[in-house]
Amino acid sequence: MLQSRTRLWLAAGLALAAGSVGSAAAATPTLRYTLSMPAPQTHYFEVEMTLGGFNKAYTDVKMPVWAPGSYLVREFAKNVEGFEAAAGSEKLRTEKVTKNTWRVYHPKSKAFTVRYRVYAYELSVRTSFIDAAHGYLNGTSVFMYPAEGKQLPSTLEVRPAQGWTQVSTSLKPAGGSFTFRSSNYDELADSPIEIGNQKIYTFTANGTPHTVAMFGDPKVDETRLTRDMQRVCEEAQRVVGQNPLDRYVFIVHNIDRGTGGLEHLFSTTLSVSRNAYSSEAGWKGFLGLVAHEYFHLWNVKRIRPIALGPFDYDNENYTRMLWVSEGGTEYFSNLITQRAGFLSPDEYLGDLSNGINRVENTPGNKQQSAAESSFDAWIKYYRPNENSVNTGISYYDKGEVIGAVLDLMIINETKGQKHLDDVMRYLYDRYYKQLGRGFTDEEYQDAVAKVAGRRFDDFFRRYVYGTETLPYETALGYAGLNLSVTPAPTTDVALGAGISPAGGKQTVTSVLRNGSAWQGGLSVGDEILAVDGVRVTDDPNKLLTSRAVGSTVKFLVNRDGQVKEVSFPLLAATARRYRIERQANPSAEQQTVLAKWLPVRR
C-alpha cells in the first residue's frame, strides 16, 4: 500500500508539472541523504539532506520522537547538533519551532541542503551507536524528514569510516557504492543499518535470500547457525502460509549482555550475549529470539492494530492490542521453536508453565488488564519503578498465556480443524492484503469468531479487558492436560520484599502488595541492619525460615541516614507454583486437540 500511494502521488505531481511548463511550482520534490562518519571514535554521525522542488518560502524538517516497535517517547532531537542549511554557497536562515522541528527559509523550488550531526552512543536495538569498532543506526534517531513529504521517495549514500568495508541493511541498492533507495520515509525509518567489518552469513528460506550480519565476533558454528535459523524461518511462515518477502536481513550484535530484539519491515536487529551460543539453553534462547522477531514480519509489520501505521512520529500511537502484537508474537515464537523440533512438547509445556507462574505470581495482574497494559505501555512498561510489580502486568507475559488459552478454545470448538494460526491467516488476507490497513479491537474479536464458529465476547470482557484469572484448567483439559497448583506450606512465611546485596548492603528494592513488608511498613531504599537483634550480613530471608506464621519480627533499618526499628507480624507465603501435567488416560478427542496444538513434525 505504501508503494502504491507513492506512485499515485508521483503521478499527480508529474501531471501538475506537465500542465505548468516553465512554472517554478512545477518542479517535482526530490530528497537525498548522505550519511558520513569521519571520526567514529567521537560517536557522531553526520547527515546531509538535499531537498529540491519545494515551492514554499520555507520547509519544516522533523526528527521523530520515538521508534516504532518500542513504545516510549525517547526525544531523539536531544542528540542533534550543528543544524544549518545552505543553497549552494548561500547560507539560509533557520529556526527551531518545536522540540523536534526545524524551519528552513529558502528560495522557492531551489535545491538546498540541510546539515547536522547526531551524537550516537547508546547501543540498543531501539537507538543508534557509533564508535571506533562499528556504527549502527535506526532511522528514526538519525534521519529527519520534510514535514509535508513523508511519502517522498529518497536515496541514501552511506560513506563508511576509513577501514570499514561492510554496510548491511534491507534497503534496496540504488546504484553506486553503498547507495540505497527507499519508497518513503516509513521505509527509510524502518530499515536499520550496520556499518563496519561485520561477518556476513547467508541462507535461503522459502525461496528468499536471508543475510545475517554478525558484529562482535562470537564463537559460533556457521553451519549450525544458518541451518537452524533457516528451520525457524520456514516454520514461522507456516503459521500464515504466505511469504511477503524478497529479502531479509538479521543484524546481530554480540555483546556482553544481550538486551533483546526489534522488528522491522524486512529486517530485525538482535542483541545477544556473545556466550549464548555455547550452551544448549543459550542456543535455544537465541532461536526463540530469532523466532519472535522474525514472526513480527507478519504480526505487527503487516498484521497490525489500526493505530500502528501509518505512524505519527510526533506523538504516542495508542492501542489496546499489544497483548496480541507482542504477547501473541511471544506465544507463536515458542510454538514455532517447538514445531521446528528445537523443543519437545513437554519442554514447551514447561516454558508455558513458567509463563503462567510469572503472570499469576505478579500482584499487578489483578490491578491491570492486558488491554490496559497495552494502552499504558508509553508511561508504564518502559518506565518501571519499584512499585510496578504491584500495579501492572507485562503485555508480553499476559498476552502469551491468553494466546495459549484462546488457541485451545478454538481448537476444541472446531474439533481440531482450526486454531489460532487460522485467525492470523484471516487477518493477513482481510486487512493487510485486501483492505491495506490495520484492524480494530472489535475486528480482531470478529476474526476469532469467524474462525471458531462462535463468539468469545465474554472471554474478552473478563480476561482481556478485565482482570479475572484465565480458565487455564478448562482450556488445558481440552488437550488432556492438568494444571497442578502447589501452594506454599501453611508453615512457610514470606517477607514479601525484594532485597539487593549491592555494595555489601542489604537494601529493599521492592515491596509486594499485601505481603508482610507491605503491611508492616518496610520501604524501598531501607538498608536492613539487623533482624531481631542479629546483625544482617546476608539475605535477611534466611533468618526467617524457622519463624512461625503470625510471629512478630523486628527489623533495624537505616532509612535516609536515620536508624529506625520496624516491627510487624509475618504473614504466610502466598506464591503458588503452577505446572502443566499430562492426564493419565486422555480421550481420543483430547489427543486430537493436543496433536493440533503441539504437532511433532521432526
Q: What is the structure's pLDDT at 170?
A: 98
> In sequence order, which residues have a C-beta less than 8 Å from that of residue 434 and are 6 or more positions away?
none
The three grid cell numbers given for residue 601, joined into one nine-digit string: 513434525
| Same domain flag for 160 and 209 | no
Stretch 468-481: mean pLDDT: 98
CB burial of 232-263 (b: ≥16 within 10 Å; e: otherwise) equals bbebbbebbeebbbeebbbbbbbeeebeebbb
Q: How far apart are CA 89 and CA 109, in angstroms?
A: 16
Q: How far apart are CA 221 and CA 278, in angstroms?
A: 10
The three grid cell numbers given for residue 588, joined into one nine-digit string: 481420543
Q: Is 60 exceeded by the pLDDT of residue 257? A: yes
Query: For the segment 35-68, what is each residue's pLDDT rounded down to a tens digit?
Result: 999 999 999 999 999 999 999 999 999 999 999 9
Q: What is the structure's pLDDT at 33?
A: 98
The three grid cell numbers given for residue 433, joined into one nine-digit string: 492484503
| Same domain flag for 178 and 272 | no
| Same domain flag for 184 and 95 | yes
Residue 29 in domain: yes
Q: Is 80 exceeded by the pLDDT of residue 1? A: no
| Same domain flag for 115 and 168 | yes
CATH of the domain at 500: 2.30.42.10
Residue 412 in domain: no
CATH of the domain at 111: 2.60.40.3650
- Per the CB < 8 A criterion, the answer to whether 551 and 563 are in contact is no
Q: What is the structure's pLDDT at 18?
A: 39
How is 10-78 classified by DSSP, letter by letter? HHHHHHHHHTTTT-GGGPPPEEEEEEE-S-GGGTEEEEEEEEE---SSEEEEE--SSBTTB-S---GGG
Query: For the segment 311-357, what is each residue's pLDDT rounded down to a tens digit?
Result: 999 999 999 999 999 999 999 999 999 999 999 999 999 999 999 99
Query: Domain tally for the chain?
Result: 3
CATH of the domain at 202: 1.10.390.10
Q: What is the structure's pLDDT at 267?
A: 98
Q: What is the structure's pLDDT at 25?
A: 45
Residue 428 in domain: no
Length of the chain: 602
> In sequence order, which residues have a C-beta less than 8 Å from that of residue 370 and are 6 or more positions away?
323, 327, 393, 395, 398, 399, 402, 463, 464, 465
> Mean pLDDT lowest for which of 222-226, 491-495, 571-575?
491-495
Residue 105 in domain: yes
The three grid cell numbers given for residue 72, joined into one nine-digit string: 516510549
Average pLDDT over the chain, rounded to whole? 94
Query: For the segment 94-125, what is each residue's pLDDT rounded down to a tens digit?
Result: 999 999 999 999 998 899 999 999 999 999 99
Query: For the segment 423-432, what is each residue's pLDDT rounded down to a tens digit?
Result: 999 999 999 9
CA distances from 524 to 335, 381, 413, 470 (A): 39, 20, 48, 31
| Same domain flag for 189 and 273 | no
Confidence of residue 27 (pLDDT cuts 50, 70, 90): confident
Residue 267 in domain: yes
Q: Is 60 exceeded by the pLDDT of residue 602? A: no
Confidence of residue 9 (pLDDT cuts 50, 70, 90): very low
Q: Which of 468, 362, 497, 488 is nearest to 405 (CA)?
A: 468
| Same domain flag for 141 and 186 | yes
Residue 506: CB atoms within 10 Å: 21
Q: How far apart are CA 122 and CA 43, in angstroms?
A: 10
Stretch 212-237: mean pLDDT: 97
Q: Is 50 exceeded by the pLDDT of residue 23? A: no
Residue 149 in domain: yes
Q: What is the structure's pLDDT at 488?
A: 81
Q: What is residue 305's DSSP assignment?
A: B
Domain boundary among 145, 174, 196: 196
Domain holding 188, by residue range, is 23-196
DSSP strand pairing (248-255 vs 208-215): parallel
> Mean pLDDT lowest for which of 42-56, 250-264, 479-493?
479-493
Q: How far apart are CA 214 and CA 277, in angstroms?
A: 13
| Same domain flag for 86 and 185 | yes
Confidence of residue 389 (pLDDT cuts 50, 70, 90): very high
Q: Is 566 exposed, middle or buried (0-12, 13-18, 19+ CB in 10 A)?
A: middle
| Same domain flag for 97 and 179 | yes
Residue 336 in domain: no
Helix pair angle (395-413, 420-427), 10° resolution: 100
The three grid cell numbers given for residue 562, joined into one nine-digit string: 536515620
DSSP strand pairing (90-91 vs 30-36): unpaired
Q: Which of 124, 73, 71 is nearest to 325 (CA)?
A: 71
How is 212-265 classified by DSSP, letter by letter? EEEES-----HHHHHHHHHHHHHHHHHHH-----S-EEEEEEEESS--EEEE-S
Query: For the segment 168-191, what is each residue's pLDDT rounded down to a tens digit?
Result: 999 999 988 899 999 999 999 999
The three grid cell numbers given for residue 53, joined into one nine-digit string: 522542488
| Same domain flag for 126 and 244 | no
Residue 91 in domain: yes
Share of residues in the chain with pLDDT > 90 (%)? 90
Query: For the segment 347-379, what is each residue's pLDDT rounded down to a tens digit?
Result: 999 999 999 999 999 999 999 999 999 999 999
